[in-house]
Structure formats: structure tokens, C-alpha cells
Amino acid sequence: MVIRLSEQWPEVSSDRLLSECVPPPRFSDVRFATYRPDPDEPSQAEALAALTDRAAKLSLPRQTPSVWARLRRKAAVPGKQGIYLDGGFGVGKTHLLASLWHESAGPKMYCTFVELTNLVGALGLRTAVDKLSSYRLICIDEFELDDPGDTMLISRLIGQLVEAGVEFAATSNTLPDKLGEGRFQAVDFLREIQALAAHFDVRRIDGPDYRHRGLPVAPDPWPDEKVEQEAGDRPNASCDHFVDLHRHLAELHPSKYGALLDGIETVAITDLRPLTDENVALRLVVLADRMYDRDLPLLAGGVPLDQLFSPEMLKGGYRKKYLRALSRLIALARAA
């Protein structure tokens, strides 16, 4: 029987949010040894070496600092307690980040930026700091600042956790001192953004998107009837009309989008339409990320995937989000 995502109402506890802060299934087996740097892009090998070195240090037994050492660290000038991988889509940033997590000693945490803000929202800042201060490493994939609230929240969180000795690693498509540009009046929050940037050693990774090397931009969409038939023939497949799905997403907190896909092995969507509403588009981005995390093939009808986001959206402040979503959706459609 075909499952309708638009009819599911998952509930997610804060304990589940915390317990799921590990690399997604797609990256459960990656290691530094399985990363293949492009020989034409030396920055990839340089980033690999930097993270391998950091993992070696983080694999050693954790030393409990003396009271005097903690006081000296608190009084010291803040250093680079994090590493920040900046680069385009499909250059292997997430592969490297997940490899760092796998090869470092715990306690440790891995999450996307959206998952982190959802977690802190569920726990409250004080409880989040209390729970996460014992962690040795926190890896944050897809670091991004979408609004002033996120900027203030994450700036305070990371600042307090750095004081507690937690190390960070992050990936993003935007340099840390440029976060928020084009999305809100970032100049009004320059102090917070600069404070965040000061914690990270930035490593740029260059190269083309490996998912699109020598491949067409997007596969041809299937007729809706074929999408529905194929979904019916596959085990644990969902199938939803695009309008029903995006309306349902509007009624769910994004922290529940992962749970919405529990038990799903294939996602089918009929009558995909060009988007003009930014809110609808951003919700689809989050769903695309959760689908990609779970490596769920996508059966798609309607317009081609590369026509989902309007030309205006692909020129705006969320351009990089939309391009990442397209990259991932197209990869999942090819897998189907």
C-alpha cells in the first residue's frame, strides 16, 4: 500500500533529536581513506590532511584540565577551536566532516545547522549548553544564518561551548564572515557574526560538483500515472501530490521532517510545479536534505527538477540553499 506523507503526523521528543545527532546513513561508512581528492584541485588534499591531523589529536584520551588550566584558558585570548570547510556543492565537504566524526573519540555530536537550531529550540539554550558542554567534538554540516534569531542563538551557544573546551568542525557554502548576507540585515549583527568567525580556522575546498561531472542537468520527469504506478510496485514507497505535500509541510515543524520519512524507502511526488513562494521553497529544501541523508530515491512527475526554483530565487539571498537542494534532488532522481 502506498503511504501518503501528507497524512502522517510524527511526534519527535528532544531525547530523540539528541540521540539522532550522528552522521546520516549515506555517510555512515565514509572515512578519510575513502575520500578521493581531485588531483586538479590541491585544496581538497590540503583539507584532507588538515582534518586527518585534527582527528589524530581528537582520538587521544581526553585530559581533564586542572582548575588552574581552566582559569588560564578562560582568561586567554580566544583561539581557533574549530575548523570550517568552505566550498561549493559536491566537493566532499560532508564526506570529510563525517570522517572526522567517525575517527574522533567521544563524546561527540554530528548534526546539520538546522538540526542544531531545532535542538536548542527544543531544549532551551541553558539546558543545551549544560548537555553539550561535556562533548569533545561537535560537527555542524551546512552552517548558515537565515535570520537574526539564529545568529544570536548560535553565537551565544558556540561561545559558551568553546569556553567549556568543546571543539567544532563545520561545513558551509559561505565564508563565516559573510554569513547572513542577502538574507537579513547582517550588518546589524556584525559583532555576533565576527565572533563566530573568530572561532574557526577556515579551509577552502574547490572543485566541480562530483554528482554532475559529465551528467545532464536533470533527468526527464515521468508522467504522473507512471510515478503512481511505480510507487505502488515498490515496497514502503510514499506518493503525494506536490500541493498536498507542501501544504502538509507548512503544518509541521522542520525538526519533524526526518521522522516523517521513517520507514520510507522511496519518495514519489506527482505534479511538481515551479515555486514562487519562498516559504514553500525553504521547506522543500529541508525535506530534500532529510531525503538525501537517508538516500531515498525520488520518483518525480511534473516539471523537470531544475525548473522548481524560479530564476528570481536562484539569484536571491537563498541561492546557495536552492542550488544545494537541486543538486541533491537530481542525484536522488537519478538513483530512482
DSSP string, 209-222: -GGGTTS-SSPPPB
- What average pLDDT does range 147-167 have in this prediction? 83
**Band of pLDDT at residue 189, cut at 50, 70 and 90:** very low
pLDDT tens digits, residue range 8-28? 999 888 788 888 899 988 889
Phi (first) and psi of residue 95, to 5 degrees: -55, -45
Q: Does the pLDDT of residue 97 top 60, yes or no? A: yes
Complete edge-to-edge strand list for the sheet that includes strand 237-241: 237-241, 266-272, 298-302
DSSP E strands: which ranges in the chain?
82-87, 108-112, 137-141, 167-172, 200-205, 237-241, 266-272, 298-302
Q: Does the pLDDT of residue 274 top 50, yes or no? A: yes
**Band of pLDDT at residue 123, cut at 50, 70 and 90:** confident
Question: Between the CA of residue 140 and those of 98, 150, 160, 271, what are the distances in Å?
Answer: 10, 14, 16, 34
Residue-level pLDDT at 285: 92
Rounded (to 5) percent helix, strand, coil in the chain: 50, 15, 35
Beta strand pairing status for 167-172 and 137-141?
Answer: parallel
Q: Is the peptide bond before 235 cis (omega within 30 degrees of 0)?
A: no
Beta strand pairing status for 82-87 and 200-205?
Answer: parallel
DSSP 65: -
Lowest mean pLDDT across 137-146, 173-182, 228-237, 264-273: 173-182
Question: Between the CA of residue 185 and those of 81, 189, 193, 227, what are the distances in Å?
Answer: 27, 7, 12, 43
Report how far apart the first and last C-alpha atoms of the chain are (Å, whole number): 19
- What average pLDDT does range 78-94 have in this prediction? 78
**Band of pLDDT at residue 193, cut at 50, 70 and 90:** low
pLDDT tens digits, residue range 281-324? 989 999 998 999 889 999 999 999 989 998 888 888 778 788 88
Rounded Cα gap, residues 38 and 17, in angstroms: 35
Q: Does the pLDDT of residue 230 top 90, yes or no? A: yes
pLDDT tens digits, residue range 25-74? 888 999 999 999 988 889 999 999 999 999 999 988 766 554 444 544 44
Q: Does the pLDDT of residue 172 top 90, yes or no? A: no
Higher-confidence residue: 199 or 69? 199
Residue-level pLDDT at 155: 83
Angle between helices 278-293 and 319-335 (to 10 degrees): 50
The mean of the pLDDT values for the chain is 83
Residue-level pLDDT at 47: 92
Cell of 220: 526527464
CA dihedral 124, 119, 51, 202 (to 10 degrees): -70
From 300, 226, 243, select the one nearest 267 (Cα to Cα): 300
- What average pLDDT does range 190-201 have in this prediction? 70
Lowest mean pLDDT across 186-190, 222-226, 311-315: 186-190
**What H or E segment, with its residue span, contains residue 294?**
none
pTM of the model: 0.74
Rounded Cα gap, residues 219 and 208, in angstroms: 19
Domains of the chain plus CATH, in order, are 5-12+211-335 (no CATH), 31-208 (3.40.50.300)
Residue-level pLDDT at 188: 47
Q: Does the pLDDT of residue 75 top 90, yes or no? A: no
